[in-house]
Amino acid sequence: MPGTFFLIGIQAEKFGSLTKRIYREGHEIGNHTFTHPDISSIGSSYMRVELNLTEQLFASQLGIRSTLFGRPTPWMRTDTEDE
């Protein structure tokens, strides 16, 4: 059953063979930025760089242009006490 994978560009580059396998097996690839920054704290120019770097990677490795975007969210704290 095909799925959708939102890939972080730097990880997709590091694990290129896995990235290619995901695509080759018929799964959808989405852009999850290049370095997974907290996008609430970066400017629009930096955001464009993050998205464009990932798109360029997908184009060069897979020959695709993804139209899907998965917004990175800040890491949630897991050390909070129950109320």
36-81 pLDDT tens trace: 998 888 999 999 999 999 999 999 999 999 999 999 887 655 555 5
Task: Please name the amino acid found at residue 16.
Answer: G
pTM: 0.84
Note the pLDDT of residue 73: 80
Note the pLDDT of residue 78: 54
Q: What is the mean pLDDT of the chain?
A: 91
Does pLDDT of 82 surpass 90?
A: no
Cβ 67 vs Cβ 58: under 8 Å? no
Residues across the chain: 83
Task: Please name the amino acid found at residue 20.
Answer: K
Note the pLDDT of residue 33: 96
Cβ 24 vs Cβ 5: under 8 Å? no
